[in-house]
Amino acid sequence: MSKVHYINSKPLSVDNVETILNSNYQLELSSEARQNIIKCRNYLDNKQNQNDLPMYGINTGFGSLCNVKISKEHLAQLQENLVLSHACGTGNQVKDEIVKLMIFLKIQSLSYGYSGVSLELVERLIFFYNNNIIPLVYEQGSLGASGDLAPLAHMSLPLLGKGKVKYKNQIRKSTKVLNELNIQALSLKSKEGLALLNGTQFMSAHGVWALIQAKYLMGYADFIGAISADAFDCNLSPFDDLVHKVRPHKGQLETAKQVRNYLKGSEIAVREKENVQDPYSFRCIPQVHGATKDAISYVFKTVKTEINAVTDNPNIFVEDDKVISGGNFHGQPLAIAMDVMAIALSELGNISERRTYQLVSGLRGLPDFLVDNPGLNSGFMIPQYTAASIVSQNKQLCTPASVDSIVSSNGQEDHVSMGANAATKLLKVVDNIETILAIELFNASQALFFRRPLKSSEHIENFLSLYQKKIPIVKNDKLMSEEIFKTKEFLSTNDAKSFLKL
């Protein structure tokens, strides 16, 4: 029997969303949400019947055409035209998981009863979500203000029997899928097209997806950093709690504690060291990783606020008898947060690559490039090159999108967030960090082999025993790319992730 998540006004967290996605919950409206939607739609219908005053996007044109009045008989056509004309996306297809997240977050936003949509529309979105009918959405086209117009238009097209969807792992015309399921295409009511397209669900879905990955990446950065520290025969003293209590940044304190716990019981860590100090890439793990964690905590807070918000326009306040045209669709909060996130995560990769470099440099009793017979074998020379290349790309991807703006809609929309660009490049940074950390683990596993018979902590040894069954110690040169891909795949497993918890 499927688990059910009831859409309601209780705030969602990123962890909630991750559970709903990973456990394949079905969505259903709570009675509270149903009443909110019906009440708001009835109010809007009555409002339209009682007077002919212009209400933006309800009985007027859009953008700079906001002063053009639309007659009642054309209101449904107005909404369909809006969706069709705004479906101008291009570029790569958005991941299925993120499109499904977009649908979920749009349902959540519409359920509060401030958007004026019909119950039928929200239930159709829920039907799409529950049956894995995934609209084809493209990465490019949103300016991140007036909402994510182009991508949300593509998300909405199949509701009208337009565009394409992925269904049962096949890309098909939405009309054929609807016919197969004996479902009629919707005819949009007034305001509904605007409610679908206005909103930040493209940006926020990317933000949620990136944060879910970031939780594990931050954990792996600490864990793999600890493995590398032992492999490089580092001192444990820089991780002493006394050091961090006198500079008590939360992330720094947490990271130092994690590294101490990971290395507890290590024979290598406790032996007397010849080196008084270690390079910063090891010694400053708590300070650098901790700063990333503190920055990401701000992003978590911002994204949580956004996914529990109403971000379409205009907003309908039934109790106050007001229809207000505002700017909640503007993506600046998300744009800045995702730029910060990209910068913060990139530093995990930056310092990771430096640890990899130290490990292959023939220092502290380790062989050049971590292989027997260096010269005949290049060993781990080129994986470090790859990591350095990716780190450099991340620096380019971390140029902020949120400081840019281009005037659109004949000057009506004269400041935009560019949050969608911040969102799409953030995903590339996230993937790059995973690769850089995989390369560090690949190197650290090899380096610890040369510390035998000394052992690291029981926790690390158990992890490496599992890892080396998939990616064994390299004796002679081999196709290293395959080992990196296998390492990334290993890190994505629940077995590997379980070692992040102590």
Per residue of the chain (502 residues), what is the pLDDT tens digit?
789 999 999 999 999 999 999 999 999 999 999 999 999 999 998 888 887 666 666 666 665 555 666 666 666 788 888 899 999 999 999 999 999 999 999 999 999 999 999 999 999 999 999 999 999 999 999 999 888 999 999 999 999 999 999 999 999 999 999 999 999 999 999 889 999 999 999 999 999 999 999 999 999 999 999 999 999 999 999 999 999 999 999 999 999 999 999 999 999 999 999 888 999 999 999 999 999 999 999 999 999 999 999 999 999 999 999 999 999 999 999 999 999 999 999 999 999 999 999 999 999 999 999 998 888 889 999 999 999 999 999 999 999 999 998 888 777 778 899 999 999 999 999 999 999 999 999 999 999 999 999 999 999 999 999 999 999 999 999 999 999 999 999 999 999 999 998 8
Domain 4-199 CATH assignment equals 1.10.275.10: yes
- What pLDDT is stored for residue 66 in this prediction? 57
- Cα 193 from chain centroid? 26
**CB contact at 8 A, 174 and 163:** yes
26 three-class SS: strand
- What pLDDT is stored for residue 30 in this prediction? 98
Give 493: exposed, middle or buried? Use CB within 10 Å, 0-12, 13-18, 19+: exposed
- What pLDDT is stored for residue 64 in this prediction? 53
CATH topology of domain 206-500: Fumarase C; Chain A, domain 2 (1.20.200)
**CB contact at 8 A, 111 and 122:** yes
Give 292: exposed, middle or buried? Use CB within 10 Å, 0-12, 13-18, 19+: buried
Nearest to 136 by CA among 77, 104, 91, 178: 91
CATH 1.20.200.10 domain extents, the chain: 206-500
For 147, 148, 210, 313, 333, the CA distances from 200, given in Å and listed in that order, are 5, 6, 15, 11, 10
Region for 2 from its dihedrals, namely left if φ exceeds 0, alpha if ψ lies in -120 to 50, beta otherwise:
beta
4 three-class SS: strand
The conformation of residue 65, written as its DSSP 8-state character, comes to: G
366 three-class SS: coil
Identify the residue whose tokens are 């019909």: 118
Whether the CA torsion 63, 69, 72, 77 is positive or negative: it is: negative
The amino acid present at 310, given as its one-letter code, is V
Nearest to 448 by CA among 288, 235, 227: 227
The amino acid present at 213, given as its one-letter code, is Q
CATH 1.10.275.10 domain extents, the chain: 4-199
- Cα 357 from chain centroid? 29
Neighbours of 126 (CB within 10 A): 19
The conformation of residue 408, written as its DSSP 8-state character, comes to: B
Q: Which helix (H) or strand (E) holds 205?
A: helix 201-231
Residue 176 tokens read as: 């054929």
Whether the CA torsion 136, 338, 334, 407 is positive or negative: it is: negative
Active centre residues (catalytic): 56
Whether the CA torsion 390, 391, 393, 398 is positive or negative: it is: positive
Identify the residue whose tokens are 């971390």: 398
Distance CA(92)–CA(420), nearest Å, equals 13
Region for 141 from its dihedrals, namely left if φ exceeds 0, alpha if ψ lies in -120 to 50, beta otherwise:
left
Concatenated DSSP letters of 171-202: EEEHHHHHHHTT-PPP-PPTTHHHHHHSSSHH
